[in-house]
Amino acid sequence: MTPEPNPEFAAFIGIDWADAKHDICLQAAGSRQREFAVLSHRPD
């Protein structure tokens, strides 16, 4: 499979996966606004 030379993205997502909580950052492509969320780490 050959990668596309200039792929277009709808959004960018960053996840900090840790042992107590997980920090998430979401930014739509073409936007400077970011959304942040925190998820607690649970077995379920």
Measured in whole angstroms, how far is the alpha carbon of residue 16 from the centre of its chain?
9
How far apart are the C-alpha atoms of 17 and 41, rounded to whole Å? 9
pLDDT at 4: 67
What confidence category does residue 32 fall into, taking pLDDT thresholds of 50, 70 and 90? very high
Q: Averaged over 9-33, what is the pLDDT?
A: 92
